[in-house]
Amino acid sequence: MGKRTSALVMGVVLVPFALSSCSSSSISTDAAEAKAASEDPDHGVWTGEDLKTLLLPVGALPKGYKPDRDYTADSGTHFGATVKKPISNNCTLLETNTWVDAAGIGIASYAQADFQKPSKEEYSEDIDSFRGTDAWTAMTRLRKYVASCATFKDSSGPAVATFKVATKAVPDLGDESFETVLSAAVYEGGQTIVVSRVGHDIVFSENSVYSSDRGSLALGLARRLVANVRVKTGN
């Protein structure tokens, strides 16, 4: 599956727990689900076409954003391969709109959409669906990845940039969530990425801007995306 890997959009600065009881019916249901999953690893996984219906429309964004069709895609009715690789040590993946590949865990399906302003400020959303407990593993790995990239250099742009990466947990959002903010002295603005797990799915909400808020729009839209996933998938 092709995933978007466009670079971070920032302009060069020209001026300065509880116990619960279980009924026999729920136990039998769980056993049936486990049996089905063991027989079909893709049991219960939504296709990319299904995930696409959970994405936010352009009307959910502030005025000025327009869909970028070149970077709007999904995995259709096909499922990706089961993969497990080491956690990436390439910190520049943080500059991309989605960096789930850094976890080294193969996704089953995905849907993504991108929106840009004429100024090239950008909002990108992505939902990745995983098999079994892979989403839990992926979130743990993504936290380790971002922790290893507290600062990093990138010389692929017009100037060598030293990025500072600030990460914090986001409470009351999905089953587990964190927010990462990227900034560099040689660039205006910054990029905010909110990563949330909702059951077997991981949601990315990213905003790259030239302003001092460094993409705070990402958090509000992440809440709407997570709500869509939670309601429609039952996770």
Return the pLDDT at 98.
78
**What are the residues whose beta carbons fall under 8 Å from the beta carbon of 75, sequence distance 6 or more?**
1, 47, 48, 109, 110, 111
Cα(170)–Cα(232) distance, rounded to whole angstroms? Answer: 22
Whole-model pTM: value is: 0.82
Mean pLDDT across 90-110: 92
Dump pLDDT digits (tens) for 184-228.
998 888 999 999 999 999 999 999 988 877 878 999 999 999 999
Cα(198)–Cα(232) distance, rounded to whole angstroms? Answer: 11
Query: Is the pLDDT at 181 greater than 80, yes or no?
Result: yes
Q: Distance of CA 77 to CAs 46, 49, 52, 68, 81, Å?
A: 9, 6, 11, 22, 13
CA 64 remoteness from chain centre? 23
What the block records as the tokens of 95 is 């500059």
Query: Is the pLDDT at 39 greater than 60, yes or no?
Result: no
Query: Is the pLDDT at 13 greater than 80, yes or no?
Result: no
Query: Is the pLDDT at 68 greater than 60, yes or no?
Result: yes
Assign 40 a pLDDT band (cuts: 50, 70, 90). Answer: low
Dump pLDDT digits (tens) for 141-161.
999 999 999 999 998 877 899
